[in-house]
């Protein structure tokens, strides 16, 4: 059984590396998805349907169910036309106008382009069927069901649960939540070094991640918002959080915070790639880079858009593929009276500023929003796309923790600027806000963090 690149290797070759031969067990070549009208990589929940194979009518191939959704993350795929692969049983997905192979089988070979180990119960059933040698079962014996929410391009739009994790004043690792990035309770009696009240505590990271998974989150993201400066990198508590979480959570896990070149407590230099490798080995599927991305984008523009080849984004995407690298952007609105009042790209906003300003630009920040830089949000998004980032996690400091809905103007601006998927973040307060952002923008996914405070 092959999974993802394990399926791709069975083919004769791939546009990804034209000089490298595949095993040639399955005839045909893999092609890069067309990104003219859709985001690439293809990330998210899509079908693996056997409905076009007459001999599989009423049957399930290794637990696959045409109505189920499975988790895919890839840029190259095997295009499929009916009748093209004589003797092979094929399950397909559709992305925009392109039909591609989602799973393929013949004799004792089975391969999936999607990740069954990240596809919730539906995926676990596929693995179980393979392990038990249940090649064909009656379809009605396959019970798992994934909800099929309105697909865009065949791809379901993802709902992501985010956990901002840090140590509280007692030294415990907790899930917290900021209001415009301030994670301390508003308090008049100041008890802590930060000047506000206690760090908000929503619960323990591993327990909460499991709860979100069981409640149906399509992905879980951990943002480590404290740097554990006195702790050797290999002992970072987030590594253990990932190890524990991946035992019970079978959807993709992203980890952010501190993904950069670091100097360990004993003075050893550790590259961003090595830091990311530790996280991948502990169960992360993607790493998310924040501050470092802004700083390398500044260098990129200062050097006439020359790529250095050495940035964390480039190192990690070269080794693990673009789909493994997310850039988390923390922009905030700067209001101006007219587009000429700044050199940056502005929007005309329907939410005017404190002094009635009708224009704004989005300034990128670093260090958890504490330091604004002279980089505008689409400049950053385009620079990191060039470097090999596969997805943008688009926060919005003005909206964070307000539970007042997403910033559509920001999301539209960034979606228009890049071809990679965008995750809308900040402001979700209720399920309706997710429906609205999917209706009002073309965002590929939407993320909520503080909502749990409203519903728990
Ligand atoms: O700079 O690479 O070390 O990464 C640090 C990461 O930690 C960044 O992704 C940055 O966004 C995040 N971060 C740092 N400080 C804070 C803070 O809150 N003080 N939080 C922080 C990020 C934003 C989102 C939040 C959404 C949705 N919080 O994670 O989950 O705004 O919230 P909502 O649904 O409650 O409105 P680096």
Instruction: Report the pLDDT averaged over residues 23-49.
Output: 95
Residues 33, 43: contact at Cβ < 8 Å?
no
- Return the ligand 1 atom nearest residue 450 CA: 35
Residues 100, 58: contact at Cβ < 8 Å?
no
- Mean pLDDT taken over the chain: 93
The span from the CA of 250 to the CA of 445, in Å, is 18
For 186-244, the pLDDT digits (tens) are 865 544 445 578 999 999 999 999 999 999 999 999 999 886 567 888 888 999 999 99
Ligand 1 pocket test, pick from 179, 202, 368, 380 with the greatest ligand atom count within 8 Å of Cβ, gives 368
Query: Comparing 53-62, 83-92, 221-230, 360-369, which segment has the lowest mean pLDDT?
Result: 221-230
Distance (Å) from CA 181 to ligand 1 centroid: 7
Confidence band (pLDDT; 50, 70, 90) for 43? Answer: very high
Vertex 333 angle, CA 378 and 391, to 5°: 35
Provide the 3-class DSSP secondary structure of residue 354.
coil
Contacts of 54 (CB under 8 A, 6+ apart): none
State residue 290's pLDDT score: 97
State residue 305's pLDDT score: 98
For 325-354, the pLDDT digits (tens) are 999 999 999 999 999 999 999 999 999 999
For 81-107, the pLDDT digits (tens) are 887 898 999 999 999 999 999 999 999
Please name the residue whose Cα sits nearest to atom 5 of ligand 1. Answer: 257
State residue 187's pLDDT score: 66
405 lines ligand 1 (CB under 6 A): no
Our measurement of the distance from residue 441's CA atom to the centroid of its chain's CA atoms, rounded to an integer in Å, reads 18
State residue 453's pLDDT score: 60
Distance (Å) from CA 73 to ligand 1 centroid: 24
414 lines ligand 1 (CB under 6 A): no
Residue 455 has pLDDT above 90, yes or no: no
Vertex 369 angle, CA 366 and 370, to 5°: 85
Reading the block at residue 196, the tokens are: 């506000």
DSSP assignment string, 104-144 = EEETTEEEESSBGGGSHHHHHHHHHHHHTT--EEEGGG---
Residue 4 annotated among the catalytic residues of the structure? yes
For 392-433, the pLDDT digits (tens) are 999 999 999 999 999 999 999 999 999 999 999 999 999 999
Distance (Å) from CA 407 to ligand 1 centroid: 16
289 lines ligand 1 (CB under 6 A): yes
Ligand 1 pocket test, pick from 164, 219, 233, 401 with the greatest ligand atom count within 8 Å of Cβ, gives 164
Reading the block at residue 321, the tokens are: 């593929």
Q: Which of 34, 30, 29, 67 is nearest to 48 (CA)?
A: 67
Domains and CATH numbers, the chain: 2-141 (3.40.50.880), 158-455 (3.20.20.70)
Catalytic option among 42, 74, 117, 285: 117
Which pTM value belongs to this model? Answer: 0.92
Reading the block at residue 223, the tokens are: 């943002």
Distance (Å) from CA 339 to ligand 1 centroid: 29
Residue 261 annotated among the catalytic residues of the structure? no
Provide the 3-class DSSP secondary structure of residue 5.
helix
DSSP assignment string, 284-337 = -SEEEE-HHHHHHHHHHHHTTT---S-SHHHHHHHHH-GGGEEEEE-EEEEEES
Residue 115 annotated among the catalytic residues of the structure? yes
Residue 56 has pLDDT above 90, yes or no: no
Beta-bridge mates of residue 179: 182
Q: Which of 298, 283, 201, 297 is nearest to 241 (CA)?
A: 283
Sheet of strand 70-74: strand arrangement: 70-74, 42-46, 155-156, 151-152
The span from the CA of 262 to the CA of 70, in Å, is 36
SS3 string, 363-394, reads EEEECCCCEEEEEEHHHHHHHHHHHCCCEEEE
The span from the CA of 304 to the CA of 25, in Å, is 45
For 140-194, the pLDDT digits (tens) are 888 777 665 555 678 889 999 999 999 888 888 999 988 999 999 886 554 444 5
- Return the ligand 1 atom nearest residue 393 CA: 9
177 lines ligand 1 (CB under 6 A): yes
Confidence band (pLDDT; 50, 70, 90) for 129? Answer: very high
181 lines ligand 1 (CB under 6 A): yes
State residue 155's pLDDT score: 87
Higher-scoring residue by pLDDT: 305, 52:
305
Query: Comparing 140-154, 277-291, 356-370, 380-394, which segment has the lowest mean pLDDT?
Result: 140-154
437 lines ligand 1 (CB under 6 A): no
Distance (Å) from CA 312 to ligand 1 centroid: 19
Q: Establish whether the linkage from the previous residue to 41 is cis, with ω within 30° of 0.
A: yes
The span from the CA of 427 to the CA of 432, in Å, is 12
Higher-scoring residue by pLDDT: 283, 169:
283
Residue 285 annotated among the catalytic residues of the structure? no
* Helix intervals (H) in 170-311: 205-214, 237-248, 272-281, 291-302
Residue 376 annotated among the catalytic residues of the structure? no
State residue 190's pLDDT score: 45
């Amino acid at each position: 059984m092959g999974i993802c690149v394990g399926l791709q290797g069975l083919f004769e070759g791939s546009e990804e590396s034209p000089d490298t031969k595949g095993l040639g067990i399955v005839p045909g070549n893999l092609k890069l998805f067309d990104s003219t009208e859709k985001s690439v990589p293809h990330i998210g929940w899509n079908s693996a349907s056997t409905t076009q194979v007459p001999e599989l009518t009423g049957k399930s191939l290794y637990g696959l169910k045409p109505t189920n959704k499975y988790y895919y993350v890839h840029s190259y795929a095997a295009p499929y036309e009916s009748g093209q692969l004589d003797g092979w049983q094929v399950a397909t997905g559709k992305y925009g106008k392109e039909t591609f192979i989602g799973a393929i089988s013949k004799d004792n070979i089975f391969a999936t382009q999607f990740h069954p180990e990240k596809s919730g119960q539906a995926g676990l059933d596929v693995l179980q069927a393979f392990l038990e040698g249940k090649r064909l079962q009656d379809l009605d014996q396959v019970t798992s069901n994934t909800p099929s929410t309105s697909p865009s391009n065949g791809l379901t739009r993802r709902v992501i649960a985010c956990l901002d994790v840090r140590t509280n004043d007692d030294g415990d690792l907790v899930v917290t939540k900021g209001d415009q990035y301030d994670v301390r309770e508003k308090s008049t009696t100041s008890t802590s070094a930060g000047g506000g009240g206690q760090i908000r505590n929503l619960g323990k990271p591993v327990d909460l991640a499991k709860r979100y998974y069981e409640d149906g989150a399509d992905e879980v993201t951990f943002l480590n918002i404290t740097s554990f400066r006195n702790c050797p990198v290999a002992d970072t508590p987030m590594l253990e959080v990932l190890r524990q979480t991946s035992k019970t959570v079978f959807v993709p896990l992203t980890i952010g915070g501190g993904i950069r070149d670091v100097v360990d407590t004993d003075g050893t230099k550790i590259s961003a790639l090595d830091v990311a490798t530790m996280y991948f080995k502990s169960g992360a599927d993607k790493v998310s880079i924040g501050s470092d991305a802004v700083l390398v984008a500044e260098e990129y523009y200062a050097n006439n858009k020359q790529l250095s080849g050495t940035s964390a984004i480039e190192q990690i995407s070269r080794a693990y593929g673009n789909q493994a690298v997310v850039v988390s952007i923390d922009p905030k609105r700067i209001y101006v009276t007219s587009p000429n009042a700044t050199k940056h790209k502005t929007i005309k906003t329907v939410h005017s500023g404190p002094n009635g300003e009708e224009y704004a630009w989005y300034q990128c920040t670093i260090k958890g929003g504490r330091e604004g830089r002279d980089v505008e949000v689409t400049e950053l998004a385009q620079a990191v796309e060039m470097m090999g980032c596969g997805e943008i996690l688009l926060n919005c400091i003005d909206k964070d923790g307000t539970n007042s809905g997403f910033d559509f103007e920001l999301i539209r601006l960034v979606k228009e600027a890049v071809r990679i998927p965008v995750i809308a973040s900040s402001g979700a307060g209720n399920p309706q806000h997710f429906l609205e952002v999917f209706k009002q923008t073309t965002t590929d996914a939407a993320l909520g963090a503080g909502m749990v405070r409203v519903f728990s």
